[in-house]
Structure 1
Amino acid sequence: MRGVLFRISISIKRRVCRDKIHYISLQICNGHREQAARLLKINSATLYGKMKKYRLK
């Protein structure tokens, strides 16, 4: 049971770190979403989805 909780904890930490990186990249690109998506090497639709999910502008 302890191993399962540890894996869940690591998964949540990775997700939080990834979302912070998305937010920071938007700040670096001065809000230009397509530039931020290119910087992150992800599809712009993926970035839009993350922004919507976490209510980022």
Structure 2
Amino acid sequence: MTTVTQMKCACETCLCVISLEDAIQKDGKPYCSEACAEGHSGGAGCGHTGCGCG
């Protein structure tokens, strides 16, 4: 049996792969940042290098 420890951020436009233990959980989905978890309501991206979500 394999345990999944990393997953892509649940934000569709985000490219980040995150550790599930470090993820921000919202509605049962893992996000890499508050910006992604909030649906980029303020227009901010996650701020991670190489990722242009937002």
TM (norm. structure 2) is: 0.31
Bigger fraction of residues in strand: 2
Bigger fraction of residues in helix: 1
Structure with greater Cα Rg? 1
